[in-house]
Amino acid sequence: MSDLLTNWGYTIENTDTLPDLMTVAEFNALTGNKFAGDARVSSLLASAQMTVRNFCGWHLYPSLPCKFEADSIDVSRCIQLPSRFVSGVSSVKLRDTDIVDYHVKTNGLVFLDGSALGRSWNDVEVKFTSGLGATQIGALKEILAGRIANALTNSYGVQSESAGGVSITYSLNWASHASAASITDPLIAALAPYKVQEV
């Protein structure tokens, strides 16, 4: 089995494909089977998952062994791994030399404490375990299910309807796009705890 180079600047080890954040069966369970059999669910789910992962800047789920490489690290000696949930770091290397003087925060920040290596840090490699666990992914699945359900219930291409003296105007939001490729302000707020932060 080969490693998977992600869109977010790191490698997931020992896997060929990125697991889903949520399956169609889980979506159906969360929505009371209201959309069971709707052929659009699978494509909307795939698009929504990748949109959320791209916005957050990492794979999110599940917890997997990963490798991050950088050409150089500046004088701050601080590395922001592409993750908000790091459960462990197995190694830090600088120019193929193991570094033992570091500490890690669960939000993905690695602080390199050693001062003997000078001010220029080149060819850095960090091997780490990253991703939400099965008990931590529930809220994110609910966010995804809500967004996809909105997409499925919107009338694509229709902005308003009138019948029997009643007029309805549809909101033109992320969910009205079958591609699921946009992020709205409420979704930005909901995903904020999962988004990779800058150092």
Q: Which residue among 80, 109, 130 closes a domain?
A: 130
Q: How confident is the model at residue 84 (pLDDT cuts 50, 70, 90)?
A: very high
Q: Same structural domain for residues 83 and 141?
A: no
Number of domains in the chain: 2
- The DSSP 8-state label assigned to residue 191 in this structure reads H
Q: Which residue among 130, 150, 165 closes a domain?
A: 130
Residue 66 has pLDDT above 90, yes or no: yes
Q: Same structural domain for residues 25 and 38?
A: yes
Q: Same structural domain for residues 54 and 151?
A: yes
Q: Same structural domain for residues 11 and 57?
A: yes
Q: Is 29 exposed, middle or buried (0-12, 13-18, 19+ CB in 10 A)?
A: middle
pLDDT of residue 145: 92
Percentage of the chain beyond pLDDT 70 is 82
pLDDT tens profile 88-146: 999 998 888 888 888 999 999 998 876 545 555 678 899 999 999 999 999 999 999 98
The two tokens of residue 133 are 């666990």
Residue 25 has pLDDT above 80, yes or no: yes
Q: Does residue 199 lie within any of the structural domains?
A: no
pLDDT tens profile 170-189: 555 444 444 455 677 888 89
Q: Same structural domain for residues 54 and 148?
A: yes
Closest CA to 196 of 3, 5, 8, 2: 8
Q: Does residue 167 lie within any of the structural domains?
A: yes
Q: How confident is the model at residue 4 (pLDDT cuts 50, 70, 90)?
A: very high
Domain that includes residue 92, residue range: 64-130
Q: Same structural domain for residues 125 and 169?
A: no
Site of tokens 């229709």: 158
Give dist(CA 133, CA 87) in Å, integer: 10
Look at the pTM and tell me if it is higher than 0.85: no
Q: Which residue among 80, 115, 130 closes a domain?
A: 130
Q: Does residue 198 lie within any of the structural domains?
A: no
Q: Same structural domain for residues 19 and 102?
A: no
